[in-house]
Amino acid sequence: MREIVWDTETTGIMPGDGHRIVEIGAVEMINRTITGRTFHTYLDPQRPMPKDAERVHGLSSDFLTGQPIFEQVIDDFLAFIGDAPLVAHNAAFDMEFLNWELKRAGMPIIPISRAIDTLEISRKANPGAKHTLDALCTRYGIDLSARTKHGALLDAELLARVYIELTGGRQIGFDLATGAAQEETEYERVSLAPRVHHASAEELAAHATFVAGLKDPLWLS
Which residues belong to the active site? Answer: 150
Dist CA 168 CA 211 (whole Å)? 54
- Report whether 9 belongs to an annotated binding site: yes
> How open is the CA angle 95-101-107, to the nearest 5 degrees?
100
> Where are the strands (E) in 43-134, listed by range?
86-88, 115-117
- Report whether 155 belongs to an annotated binding site: yes
Dist CA 104 CA 12 (whole Å)? 17
- Report whether 17 belongs to an annotated binding site: no
Of 87, 83, 75, residue with least CA distance to 110? 83
Dist CA 165 CA 144 (whole Å)? 16
Strands 2-10 and 86-88, how do they pair? parallel
Phi, psi of 170 (to 5 degrees): -75, -30
The binding site for substrate comprises 7, 9, 57, 155
Q: Name the binding residues.
A: 7, 9, 57, 155
Residues making up the binding site for a divalent metal cation: 7, 9, 155
